[in-house]
Chains A and B, each alone.
Chain A
Amino acid sequence: MSEKRPSEATSATAPKPMPGSGKGERREREITPEEAKRTGALVREVLEEFGARVKRRKGVLEVEIPGEGAPAQVDEEAETEPDPEADPETEAEIDSEAEPDADGDAEPADDGDDEPADVAPDAEGDDDAEVASPIEGPPIAPPTPSAVHRTAGFVRDELARDLGGSRALKLCFHEDDLEPGCDLVGPGSFVLTGIDRFLRGRGRRAILEAPKKHRASRPKVLRALGLADADVEEIERSAGHRLEAFFVFKVGPDDHALPQELVCVRTLAGGGEVRVSDRLPLKRLASFEDRPRRRFPRNAIEPLWEAALGTVEAEARARVAPLERTVLEGVRRDLARVDAFYRAGFEQLKRGSRDPYGAKAKELETEMRRKIAELLEGRAIRVVVEAVQLLLVERPTTRYEIALRGGARVEAAIDLHDGTVIGPPCASCEVILLAAPPSKAKASSRRRTAGPAPALCEAGHLCCAACADPCRACR
């Protein structure tokens, strides 16, 4: 790997002016200022995260990737200018998860008057008492300084290799900032390709904890389950969690007939629809607590994965539908050609052969069928879905075990992040009974979150209203 960029003699040479590229002349631009800003911020963050020294001068980043053994330090003297690009995420994200009433609006304090009279008062008082989650990974011993440096050195070597082998770079992100010796980083640039390659094995899994934005409340739960008037004997309460998984996939046909795209699939344990979007809600996720030491058993994640897989496969098929049409047009042409070819062969057999419909004709027929089968197989579309990332969000919940007089027991929980009440599966059809947070949510949002409305059948089984009379459990 070369240590330096091409010699100073060449970097001192200004780029040769091209026709129509002089100042003041109109020229097509491919990189918008906004795009340049986002790209610049990303590249800088990656470089600094993995040990490079970055100095910013107007629109240019001067990068030095220290060699192995050199400690990765931030060169504080280099930061001479405030960085107006500190917050690159200026545009609002389309957050498919955004519940209009969920951000920052706490549930009003529960009014004790609403509680059913025969429910024993909660000896512990507020349902929001903190209960520690049982899931915690073993503590990770802090690495020794030499190990840090050695590891960091290898990482820096890898970074330099993926960026074309050079340890000193000058990067700009918009054509207006191009100067001698500078590499323009735009779509298709080796820098972006190299960074993508460098990060490929990194950052594939992260675990976050969603903040509590709602309070646990037995009356709310009972109301949501339609048990407000039920004869409740006892309610037990415990802390729990609910996993929300964001899977990021890269989807596209393997022959690049259509561009590859990132698809984000969000699944939620304990019910809730699986949602597909084009972008991760990074801003929202960034506000959650990072929990890199958390661990979850694989069997907790696999159902989420299965649900996401089914969805992304369907999504992938939907996205290549335009391509299927093009393929069929090609099939039409191929069939016409094959038909004509073998028809000529059949006619020749008829004319010249003493056995016009005998063995030779059958052979030709078999060959034609085989050719067509090969042709169709050759036109098969292969869509590649590459699993890129998994972000797990632990949503705190409070679980309730409700004993009804008569012996029926109902398990439910309340999601303390979005206030959803999660009921048990319907005794008849097994669909999870859900109730959206009340009142402040938009109707459309409540419809999206809620499952079928719960109802008790005569025997005390909790079902959706449609299944209650009679429910399968009774039968």
Chain B
Amino acid sequence: MSTPRDESSEPIGAPAIKPGDRADARALGEHLEWLDARTPDSPPAGEERSRWRKKAAEAGARAVPGRRCPQCGWLDAVTRKECFRCAKRFDLAAEALEALAERDLRPPPTRVVVESAGDLLTARVEPFRIADLRYRAAERALLPGFNRLLGLGHINREVVQDYPFQREAAIRALRDMGGQALLADETGLGKTIEAGLVMKELIVRGLVRSVLVIVPAALTEQWREELHEKFLEEFVVARTEKQLRNAERIITTYATVRSAGGPGRLLRERSFDLLVVDEAHKLKNRATQQHQAINRIPRKYVLLLSATPFHNNLGELRSLIDVIKPGLLGSGRTFNKQFVDPKDPRRPRRVAHLRRLLDEVMIRRRRTEVNVELPPRRAAVYHVKPRPVEQAFYEQLTRLVGEEIHRLQMMGDLVQRTAGDRRYSWVLALITLQREACSSPPAVEKTLRKLASQTEGSPENVTRQLGVLADEASRLPLCRKAAACHELLDGFEGQFVIFVEYLATADYLKRSFEGEGITTTVYHGGLDDVGRKATLDRFRAGEARVMIATRTGGEGLNVQFCHNLINYDLPWNPMSVEQRIGRLHRLGQEHPVSVFNLSVEGTVEARVLELLTHKIKLFTAVLGEVDLILGNLHSERSFEQILRQAWLEGTQSGGLDRAFDEFGHELERARTKYDDIKDSESKLSEIFEDQS
């Protein structure tokens, strides 16, 4: 089998690929395109490289010197508390005092500051019973209630990879901030996990019952899935008044909250125990309807999440803090006077004082502080061309789908139809057909036959064509995509996880692999717990080289012992792709993770892959960037819905390329906007990072 290799785009150090029939592959234009994979600490491309080099040099220069253990002679970093070899404990505190004494310096001072003294001596004298209540209330309020998280026993520990720093953040938010906090950790550190831990803790302790989560529209489904999968909490993505009135756990969007009409009004009249606001930098302007609407929602506990709580000026940060603790940073005028550099509204003054105030409500850590290190991940797109018979089939199917869309369009506007509309259901079925055609012959055949048997309301010739296409699908040879999988398995060593969207495709691939002697197992939603465990154990034990996982089967899967992944079918939700990769690229992974994506030229899936790869830069983004980018899309629909709409409009108008190009531009704009505001993260870090 040919194994194409694109030497021009292959990075140094990529695994060797067996030579194959390169001439044919190259003639066809097939190639493996390695993407510019980037991790937080790896070099970026282009003009950033020199800046990164300088930073790396500084980081290297900051390497800690070593010392030999006086007991066993083991050489280790001077900052270790005990010897790695003989466990002799070092007294770092005493060493610090010695080091300071050598430089004629004193240790850091301990300053005692007395507050509220003056007015105590002149305070109004009240009856003792009031003083008694005052004292007992102060005592109760200081009771250590959140020294440990009871909620950890009530979350899905197989899926939630909670780091100690995340648990610490949750405890701090609960114990020290009274459940009212701004979670402002750097991108990728898992603010969602931290918010989930806080939420779960409050629920488990019976302190919270109703929860309202406000997120950008593109992230509603992601939040719902995460809260369900990881924290075992059922949330409703509420859009109707009935849902908003009755549900106790609600996810909604900014637009819904700020709407003047029914849903918005209802939300503002209801009170919630816990309010969670994601991408809270959208509240940066206190004068906006959005800020005022959300600030007015009565709640007992509130969590704001944002890695970039201010963009243009520090006053935006004050607007956010005012949602949690009004007046903590003073009025606008006093805040600007005290804490903002008059020459640069993003530069703080009196940093130590500002930091002390922010410490009361804000938790901010950087990746470098919390020692979260994962091996790098790299991604590639394997561009292949369909075989002529496949291409002919695909084009025939596409023509039929286009004609049907056009016919339905004559009957009324399709784009605005709701899910309950029968014609829209038919449209969704047609979209599914196209996607299945990109997957495998058995997947599309199954649906073609099913649709052909549903004759009601469809013209006879359409029913007949569907039947003909089903027969043709059954006669197709091994599809190019499946063959590409074989090539990847030949070219790269180790085990593979292959994600597919359709069970029929999973069976198809399994038969194909086993025909070539490749041991394969399938992990799908139809397995019970025992079956899933057995499948996973088999894969972990090395009894199968390949595990094919469907979408529902992939939930809750942890396979960090494997480091090769093929996105055979691509979900239209980038966060689903991110989550798939997260099954392998997680704590415990010891090797660089390779992510292969298959692009069959001329298919709708190839277009989607192009958007995800080059517009959002999904596979090369730093962890957590993607949802920030999607949050910048000016739409109330999810990414998948926007994509579906673009496909529909393109198919209707005969300009599919243009429709996808327009969407691609919108994604580029969202990304550019994200890049602009990312700079503000460094400004925030100035307030919090160590002076050295």
Residues of A within 8 A of B (CB): 1-2, 5-7, 9-10, 13, 15-16, 18-21, 28, 30, 35, 38-39, 42, 45-46, 49, 164-166, 175, 178, 183-184, 186-190, 192-193, 195-196, 199, 202-208, 247-248, 250, 254-256, 259-262, 279-280, 282, 285-286, 288, 290, 292-295, 298, 301-302, 305, 309, 312-313, 316-317, 320, 324-325, 327-329, 331-341, 344-345, 371-391
Contact = CB atoms under 8 A, between A and B. Distances in A.
Contact of A250 (B138, B207, B245, B248): B138
Contact of A325 (B93, B129, B271): B93
B150 A187 contact: no
A164 to B, nearest CB: 5
Interface stretch (B12-20, B172-180, B340-348, B599-607): B172-180
A389 B134 contact: yes
A202 B126 contact: yes
B62 A340 contact: yes
Interface centre among B110, B248, B690 (most CB of A within 10 A): B110
Contact of B206 (A13, A178, A293, A333): A178
A333 B90 CA distance: 13
A386 B179 CA distance: 22
Given A336-B78, A383-B112, 6 more contacts: A46-B137, A187-B143, A205-B126, A285-B128, A332-B92, A385-B114
B61 A341 contact: yes
A188 B207 contact: yes
Contacts of A261: 142
A208 B134 CA distance: 16
B137 A387 contact: no
22 contacts: A10-B246, A18-B203, A18-B232, A38-B136, A38-B140, A42-B136, A164-B298, A192-B143, A199-B137, A205-B124, A254-B356, A280-B135, A282-B135, A329-B81, A329-B92, A332-B79, A333-B64, A333-B79, A377-B691, A379-B108, A383-B111, A386-B114
Contacts of B204: 18
Given A19-B232, A302-B121, A331 B96 contact: yes
B115 A203 contact: no
Interface in B102-155: 103, 105-117, 119-146, 150, 153-154
A332 B99 contact: yes
Nearest to B234: A16
A190 B300 CA distance: 6
B665 interface: no
Nearest to B122: A298
Contact of A184 (B113, B205, B234, B248): B205
A202 B123 CA distance: 9
A313 B117 CA distance: 13
Interface of B: 58, 61-65, 78-79, 81, 92-93, 95-97, 99-100, 103, 105-117, 119-146, 150, 153-154, 172, 174-176, 178-179, 203-207, 209-210, 232, 234, 245-246, 248, 269-271, 298-301, 352, 356, 359, 690-692
Given A204-B120, A338-B692, A286 B115 contact: no
Given A10-B248, A165-B271, A196-B137, A188 B206 contact: no
A203 B141 contact: no
A380 B109 contact: yes
Contacts of A380: 108-111
A192 B133 contact: no
Contacts of B112: 313, 316-317, 383, 385
A206 B65 contact: no
Contact of B65 (A20, A165, A329, A340): A340
Contact of B150 (A28, A39, A391): A28
Q: Which 4 A-B pairs have the closest CB atoms?
A: A187-B145, A203-B134, A184-B206, A196-B141
Contact of A332 (B96, B117, B128, B134): B96
Contacts of B108: 327-328, 331, 376-377, 379-381
B404 to A, nearest CB: 44
A165 B114 contact: no
A21 B359 CA distance: 35
B356 A305 contact: no
B121 A188 contact: no
Contacts of B205: 30, 184, 186, 188
B690 A292 contact: no
A337 B343 CA distance: 33
A381 B110 contact: yes
Given A189-B207, A199-B133, A332 B271 contact: no
A121 B169 CA distance: 75
A268 to B, nearest CB: 17
Contact of B107 (A2, A45, A328): A328
Nearest to B77: A336
A386 B270 CA distance: 37
Contact of B93 (A203, A313, A332): A332
Given A196-B138, A329-B93, A333-B64, A190 B207 contact: yes
B691 A378 contact: yes
B134 to A, nearest CB: 3
B178 to A, nearest CB: 5
Contacts of B126: 202-206, 292
Given A282-B132, A387-B120, A336 B64 contact: yes
Nearest to B209: A15
A325 B81 CA distance: 13
A372 to B, nearest CB: 7
Contacts of B139: 262, 279
Contacts of B105: 372-373, 376
A86 B535 CA distance: 61
B117 A387 contact: yes
A45 B174 CA distance: 26
A372 B128 CA distance: 51
A383 B92 contact: no
